[in-house]
A and B are shown apart, each in its own frame.
Chain A
């Protein structure tokens, strides 16, 4: 089965530093998502992205966050100035064109630790 790939699997950073979490969605997918899970809490929706723009975002996704599809294969989440409370597991997900396969494929996550 095709996979969504996330790198790195673990990221440690200092508070105030910028981090970029990288994802390679499945090649023929056009809808992309970021979710996160703070330890002991629920998986939360952050943002969805289609046609090179954000289609929906949650309240969590403030000005410190941004997403980008810099080329035809990568989908990145940037946190400009990390805070302690940004420590979480971040999941990337993708799916194919609406009306075809609606199944959402998740990556294995990047564990972000902000010190």
Chain B
């Protein structure tokens, strides 16, 4: 069985500061890892994904995440927060990259950006 843990249900950052959202996973097979973002009144949007290859993955809106197998982590970062980054972020794991089928989600982290 797969599981995802996101540390911190809420994170508050100042505009221009580093955004760091933590995600740890467990999986019995090589994982495929995803970060989704949900803006208010919108659906989940894919930010980035890790399947194989390069462990540092770049996504949309300046976000990136690094897959660390030894730490079973896939933390999401952005060097400089923007007000538009205020949203809820979900880490997810799947064992089927082609489908993204049966995603197992973390509990989400809501990001507040202070001016």
Beta-carbon contact of A45 and B102 below 8 Å:
yes
Q: How far is the CA of A31 from the CA of B104 in the complex (A)?
A: 17
Q: Establish whether residues A98 and B98, one from each chain, have CB atoms under 8 Å apart when the complex forms.
A: yes
A68 sits at the interface (CB 8 A): no
Chain B nearest Cβ from A25, distance in angstroms: 12
Q: What interface size band does chain B fall in?
A: 20 to 34
Q: Beta-carbon contacts of B27-58 to A below 8 Å, as 1s and 0s? A: 00000000010000111111000000000000
> Given A41-B107, A42-B106, are A109 and B101 neighbors across the interface (CB < 8 Å)?
no
Q: Is A75 located at the chain interface by the 8 A CB criterion?
A: no
Interface string of A79-115 (1 = CB under 8 A from B): 0000000000001010100110011111111000000
Are A107 and B105 in touch, CB under 8 angstroms? no
CB neighbours (8 Å) of B4 from chain A are: 42
Contact B101 A42 (CB under 8 A): no
A58 to B2, CA, bound (A): 13
- Considering the chains assembled together, what is the distance between the CA atoms of A91 and B42 in angstroms? 10
Known contacts A42-B108, A43-B105, A106-B43; decide if A31 and B99 are in contact (CB<8 Å): yes
B101 contact set on A, CB distance < 8 A: 31, 33, 48, 56
A5-32: CB near B (< 8 Å → 1, else 0) gives 0100100000000000000000000010
B7 CB → nearest A CB, Å: 14
In contact, B105 and A103 (Cβ under 8 angstroms): no
In the complex with contacts A42-B106, A42-B108, A103-B100 CB distance below 8 A: yes
> B102–A102 contact, CB under 8 A?
no
State whether the Cβ of B97 lies closer than 8 Å to any Cβ in chain A.
yes
